[in-house]
Copies of this chain bind each other. A is one copy, B any other.
Amino acid sequence: MSDSPEDTIVAAVLDAVAEQRLPAGAKLGEQALSDLFECNRANVRRALASLAAQHVVELRPNRGAFVITPSPKEARDIFQARRALEHTIARHAAGQAKKADITYLRRNIAEETQARRAGDKPAELRLSRQFHMSLAGIAGNKVLERFLSELTMRTTLILGLYATAGGSHCAEDEHDRIVDALEAGDADELARLTDEHLHHLEAGLSFKTPKPVGSNLRDQLLGPVATNM
């Protein structure tokens, strides 16, 4: 199960971002990574190049690699793209969901609800993302799946930056209703619910109070101060 060091690093960074352990703006030093994963810097750099190509990290010349911090405009673009992709995914998933898929999704929702009640935000985020990716898997289009994977990753960063208190868990029973439509094979309803769900998610954002992205210490000690313009 052990991949190349490059893939290991990429997977680890993506997992960390998906659970919001790595916040937007975090620096990914080459030496730190090569120490952590016990490999040489060449592998680290390839991994960072891959992550940069996925727009999950940003490579600033002579500065290093940083987790991206999506702007409000980028956030809008990403949600718009997600609606385009997930609309199509919904339509194609409707036809070919098996019984096993439905039970898997129900279980996923249950776990997500549990995580939310337990206050386990990393697990909640990971499971919510997994829900959307599972639908993409059912649709069976690898291209759409990969694109959506990238966008859900960036959505997690967006939520970390712009989510309001009430916004992020308005999706309470929406996932449930989505599975209902999937089970019923109602493509139109499924597509409609998916669109709606994403609109609700986006509506829960606020770009007026940008949680600042800093060098880790300052915002943990001094709290939010608007630094980025």
A residues with a Cβ closer than 8 A to B are 4, 42, 45-46, 49-50, 52-55, 61, 74, 77-78, 80-81, 83-85, 87-88, 92, 141-144, 146-147, 151
Report if A88-B77 is in contact (Cβ < 8 Å); known contacts: A53-B49, A53-B53: no
| Copies of the polypeptide in the assembly | 2
A141: which of B46, B54, B80, B85 is its contact (CB, 8 Å)?
Answer: B80
Given contacts A49-B49, A81-B147, A143-B151, 12 further A-B contacts (CB under 8 A): A42-B42, A46-B46, A46-B49, A49-B53, A53-B53, A74-B143, A77-B143, A80-B143, A80-B144, A81-B143, A84-B87, A147-B147
A84: which of B52, B55, B84 is its contact (CB, 8 Å)?
Answer: B84
Q: Chain B residues with Cβ under 8 A from A142's Cβ?
A: 74, 77
Q: What 6 A-B pairs come out closest when comparing CB atoms?
A: A53-B53, A84-B88, A49-B49, A81-B143, A77-B143, A77-B141
A42 to B88, CA, bound (A): 40
Which B-chain residue is minimally distant from A154 (CB atoms)? B143
| Closest-CB distance, A65 to chain B (whole angstroms) | 12
| Closest-CB distance, A60 to chain B (whole angstroms) | 12
- Which of A81, A144, A146, A151 counts the most chain B CB atoms within 10 A? A81
A141 to B79, CA, bound (A): 10
